[in-house]
């Protein structure tokens, strides 16, 4: 289990956890999945740059995170295309969450879905 506590408001370096990965085959679809616990009020409902971001695209992660229950473990699974966007980052990002906000996460993985090629 990992814990992230937002240290200051605004976009500051290293407010994310994840991978940088750009496989040559652009037809690959990624799946990111894991467990997340939102401590206190769920601010993912009202934020512009927080959630699971796959090569620059939030896909449906903000809707999924925004509907999660607070102070309990929630499972999340998101998919996204291999576009090489955003420098190849596949991340859980916290940029626009308020200062002091705490998120716990566990067992986050990223998989290549060969059978879901676009």
Could you report the per-residue pLDDT of 49-90, keeping only the tens digit for each? 888 999 999 877 888 888 999 999 999 999 999 999 999 999
Domain that holds residue 46: 2-116
Q: How many domains does the chain have?
A: 1
pTM for the complete prediction?
A: 0.85
Per-residue 3-state assignment (H helix, E strand, C coil) for the chain: CEEEECCCCCCCCCCEEEEECCCCCCCCEEEEEEEEEEECCCHHHHCCCCEEEECCECCCHHHHHHCCCECCEEEEEEEEECCCHHHHEEEEECCCCCCCCEEEEEEEEEEEEHHHCC
Could you report the per-residue pLDDT of 13-24, keeping only the tens digit for each? 778 899 999 998
Q: Is the pLDDT of residue 111 over 70?
A: yes
């Amino acid at each position: 289990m990992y814990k992230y506590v937002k240290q200051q408001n605004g976009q500051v370096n290293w407010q994310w956890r994840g991978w940088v990965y750009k496989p040559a085959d652009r037809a690959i679809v990624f799946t990111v999945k894991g467990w997340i616990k939102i401590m206190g009020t769920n601010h993912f409902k009202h934020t512009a740059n927080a959630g699971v971001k796959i090569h620059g695209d939030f896909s449906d992660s903000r809707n999924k995170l925004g509907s999660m229950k607070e102070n309990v473990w929630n499972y999340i699974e998101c998919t996204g295309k291999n576009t090489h966007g955003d420098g190849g980052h596949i991340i859980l990002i916290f940029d626009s969450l308020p200062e002091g906000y705490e998120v716990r996460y566990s067992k986050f993985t990223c998989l290549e879905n060969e059978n879901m090629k676009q």
